Amino acid sequence: MTAQTAVATFAGGCFWCLESPFDSEEGVLETLVGYTGGETENPTYEQVSSGGTGHAEAIQITYDPSVVGYDRLLGIFWRNIDPLDAGGQFCDRGSQYRSAIFYHDEEQKRLAEASRDALAASGRFDGRIVTEIVPAGAFWPAEEYHQDYYRKNPIRYKFYRYGCGRDNRLKEVWDK
């Protein structure tokens, strides 16, 4: 991270599905999918997806804060998850698919908590927002075949996303 760049880290179910919305945002310089929030060092996809590492599938975003603010990234994040689901996201179940905001400094923490609190006060949701807001720790990049999966395997990606019910649930949650 330099004076011209900052890092944001989010978990919201399958990490493939979080890359596309951020990649298309002006000011986002790079997205990297990987694992964070657990104890196992340098975990593999098989270890994380089995649920035994404590890690979540996540995305790390390097961005230019003079072009896109952290609050805008939070807005993109919220609109691409189900903040009411404590058991995972969409068809992916278990804590490895939990939703979480991993903050890198006190300002990110403040903005994340304020955005969560504003959503909770909005009256939009019938349930409680369960998305975690926790300090960022080590981030372990996922295997190369997971990076930019939606671009490398567009048909498989679309089939997965549709089959998982992600888009239908997002419409239910956000298009009220």
Task: Give the DSSP per-residue string, 69-133.
Answer: -HHHHHHHHHTTS-TT-TTEETTEESGGG-EEEEESSHHHHHHHHHHHHHHHHTT--SS----EE
Q: How much of the chain is in helix, strand and coil states, percent to nearest 5? A: 40, 25, 40
Residue 140: predicted pLDDT:
98
The reply to whether 114 falls in a domain is yes
Residue 175: predicted pLDDT:
87
The reply to whether 131 falls in a domain is yes
Distance of alpha carbon 25 from the chain centroid: 15
* Domain region containing 153: 6-174
The reply to whether 10 falls in a domain is yes
Which helix (H) or strand (E) segment is 166 a member of? helix 166-174
Residue 70: predicted pLDDT:
98
pTM (predicted TM-score)? 0.95
| CATH code: domain of residue 99 | 3.30.1060.10
Q: Catalytic residue positions?
A: 14
Task: Measure the CA–CA gap between 106 and 83, rounded to whole angstroms.
Answer: 22
* Torsion sign, CA atoms 166, 9, 62, 153: negative
**Helical axes 16-23 vs 154-164, angle rounded to 10°:** 110
The DSSP letter of residue 145 is G
The amino acid at residue 76 is I
Contact (CB, 8 A) for 140 and 36: yes
Number of domains present in the structure of the chain: 1
The reply to whether 1 falls in a domain is no
The reply to whether 95 falls in a domain is yes
The reply to whether 34 falls in a domain is yes
For the chain, which residues score pLDDT lower than 70?
1-3, 176
The bridge status of strand 99-103 relative to strand 92-93 is unpaired
Q: Give whole-number Cα distances, 82 to 2, 39, 86, 152, in Å.
A: 32, 25, 9, 26
